[in-house]
Chains A and B, each alone.
Chain A
Amino acid sequence: MVSDFFYPQPGGVESHIYQLSSKLIALGHSVIIITHAHGSRVGVRYLTHGLKVYYVPFYVLYRESTFPSVFSFFPILRNILIREEIEIVHGHQSLSSLCHEAILHSRTMGLRTVFTDHSLFGFADPGSILGNKLLKFTLSDIGHVICVSHTCKENTVLRASLDPVTVSVIPNAVVPSNFRPDPSKASSEYITIIVISRLYPNKGADLLTAVIPNICKIHPTVRFIIAGSGPREIDLEQMREKFQLQERVELLGSIRHEDVRDVMVKGHVYLHPTLTEAFGTVLVEAASCGLLVVTTKVGGIPEVLPSHMTIFSSPSEDSLTQSTLEAIKLIESKAVDTSKFHEQVKGMYGWHDVARRTENVYDIVAKIDNEPVIDRLKRYYGCGIWAGKLFVMCVVIDYLLLRFLEWLYPESGIDRVRKWPRRPIDKSLLAGANCKSEKIESEDEDSGLGGMSDVA
């Protein structure tokens, strides 16, 4: 697993990688995660069940993405891949340059590659055009691609000009036990509407600001709890003051993912005003907590939940107000039984299922034979008039770099790691391993890796 996005920073991709990796380990695979260093967190760390994380020191450019240096990642990546005897490299998220580099280099080394796309991109703005070109470069020679929803698949196939057969749809999942409903927490005299979203324009924060006063005016017994922060937070605060809704609209600011469930169970309805969404894990979490979901019908959202759990609206102020009022009416008249949602969601989404389906993808990839270098170059050449030549140049340099690295650090000189024993889940051993990796962290990168083999 390679991505710029991993713990300790919070987020959907981060938890996806973590959950998937731990389930794959449970299925008997050996999994390591490679990401960039976060502050003082440099070197190797162990998480639960011997999930090993390499924090590679790289300069962070923008929103936790590393600087796209194309080749500088190759030496250490090769070292890690050989040391860990890796067969399949799985990159996550198209904005992560670490992931793109890893896929390029591992293809050069002749390894199998898989890529997971978690988000949607348009085709019109300059940022997307550049991003799509890069994606086309990386995915020209990918083994298999995983998308989190059917809409996301259509989007990725178009962006990277892929054959749709090489793209699988495997949704995200939730840990149902972390999102158990608790009807005793919700108020009986008020209808509480929960919103958990980063307050950005593309997450529909403007719609939210417009809808709240409408609903509060029509319905005197409705309260809002809004969690999340962002540039539009100030608008919400202004709206709250303008309409004097301080008692009825509670702004929590950003909350940790662990606390999401505790906020959700306080409510009856979950409102999701977003303008773009590939999957919307938060909807599944809300339904799992026993909330009726009101959402805009955009992106992959219509695929996520069955119609008895959701009320869809178009992304307009009037439509969203109508849908929310409808949801309030359903809750008040008890026409919808939200108590069964948890069990139903449990049957729909589980990480074990995701891991099993990802395993199928790995099986497909493992059967693909490596083609001659010239065929690989041909694929890159077809990427575009100028881009094609540039890409071919990059790949050729990558091969030369590989030869140079093979001479500089011969494969025989790289120690192989002893694998974490299967099912040794002994609390004391785990604690000991954690201590050890803490120590390694203070040393420099190479010696940190050198000291690795005797940790397990």
Chain B
Amino acid sequence: MAKRPWRKLLWVHQPYPDNYVDSSFLSQLKRNLHVQQYSFWALSSDSTVIISHVYTVAIFVCVFVAIYRDKYNPAWFASIGSFCTLVGYFAWDGLGEENTTSRTATAKSAILIVSTLLGLSPVLKSLTQSTSSDSIWALSFWLFLLNVFFHDYSIGSRKTCSSFPPTLSTNLAIAAATVLASRLSTTLSVFSFLLFSIELFGLFPIFSRWLRSYSFVAHLILTSILAIVTEVGMFYIGGWWALGVWSVAILSAVFVAPGWLIALQKYKNEIQGPWDPAKPVLRSR
């Protein structure tokens, strides 16, 4: 008499041993179901988003070195920054972006922030007087590193949820700028430097995110401008040597890293099966 075929059931007693392995074993196993295929150029162009933020940080560091080491007048940088901010604001305003706040309200809050900064500058100047410079460099390095990690690189509207609030990275950068500013000698330089940092870390990311959603070509042009400025800054800080190291690092981030990521995709082994917790489908009300 032929045995009845084995069935994947527990409530029937079947004439098979308990450790019987049927040919249907693991038939519901699915592999790499949700794996995305990457293309090199898409990854490469996406990496410019990260690169442009790294450029921002690098420019900021260059500016600090210029003010701290070579006694450049910080007011120059603040003026250039403010000018660019105004240009950016009017471009943003003029190109039909729907504003929730009126221009007067924006101007009001800008004046408020600038005055607060002016009032706080003497306090901030003496903030880290009792700390050695080495500690400040180390601290600001870590803060900037965290800033680059936690920065909100998402494309499009702010509503797309990112796991970290965008304010976190801004706060980290402003904190780094504050401790660096406290190394400067005059109240005016502290004020100018902080104003510059707020423009660079508070307002510029909003502008660049908008520009990216507006036109990717414009974003590439902006990134190229930032690249040139940074290269000049690097040459100014450390000569040919710094310029070379910096360029190699950036080029490998844009071209080598995406290739590496694609090469690593062959090791991808996602396993899905009936044991995975199901995702409940709820009607939103």
- A residues near B (Cβ < 8 Å) are 120-124, 144, 149-152, 154-155, 157-158, 164-171, 202, 204, 206-207, 210, 275-276, 278-279, 296, 298-300, 302-306, 314-319, 348-349, 357, 360-361, 364
Contact = CB atoms under 8 A, between A and B. Distances in A.
A303 B8 contact: yes
B277 A152 contact: no
Interface string B5-30: 00011111000011101000110110
A135 to B, nearest CB: 14
Nearest to A306: B11
A319 B282 CA distance: 10
A296 B275 CA distance: 13
Contacts of A299: 274-275
Main secondary structure of the interface of B (DSSP, over half): loop
Interface in B257-271: 270-271
Contacts of B29: 154, 158
A121 B28 CA distance: 16
A210 B18 contact: no
A369 B262 CA distance: 47
Interface string B242-285: 00000000000000000000000000001101111111111100
A134 B167 CA distance: 39
Interface residues of B, number: 26
Interface string B216-246: 0000000000000000000000000000000
A204 B280 contact: yes
Contacts, number: 106
A204 B279 CA distance: 9
Contact of B282 (A149, A165, A207, A296): A207
Nearest to B11: A348
Nearest to B274: A151
Given A303-B11, A305-B11, A360 B18 contact: yes
A276 B19 contact: no
Nearest to B277: A276
A165 B270 contact: no
A361 B18 contact: yes
A229 to B, nearest CB: 20
A124 B32 CA distance: 12
A166 B282 CA distance: 41
A300 B9 CA distance: 9
B31 to A, nearest CB: 11
A130 B273 CA distance: 19
Contacts of A202: 277
A328 B87 CA distance: 68
Which 3 residue pairs spanning A and B have beta carbons closest together? Answer: A316-B281, A168-B18, A120-B275
Contacts of B28: 154
Interface string B153-171: 0000000000000000000
B26 A123 contact: no
Contacts of A349: 11
Given A122-B277, A202-B277, A317-B281, A154 B26 contact: yes
A299 B270 CA distance: 18
A150 B11 CA distance: 12
A276 B28 CA distance: 16
Given A124-B270, A316-B282, 14 more contacts: A151-B275, A155-B273, A169-B19, A275-B277, A276-B276, A296-B278, A298-B278, A299-B274, A305-B11, A306-B12, A314-B278, A315-B281, A319-B281, A348-B11
A206 B275 contact: no
Contact of A165 (B11, B12, B21, B279): B21
B40 to A, nearest CB: 26
B18 A122 contact: no
Contact of A304 (B10, B271, B276, B283): B10
Contacts of B280: 204, 206-207, 275, 315-317
A299 B8 CA distance: 12
B275 A317 contact: no
Nearest to A344: B11
A317 B273 contact: no
Q: Which of B29, B275, B276, B279 has the most CB of A within 10 A?
A: B275
Contact of A210 (B271, B274, B282): B282
Contact of B8 (A124, A150, A166, A364): A150
A169 B10 contact: yes
B19 A165 contact: yes
Q: Which of B278, B282, B283 has the most CB of A within 10 A?
A: B278
B282 to A, nearest CB: 5
Contacts of B21: 164-165
B282 A317 contact: yes
A206 B280 CA distance: 8
Nearest to A315: B278
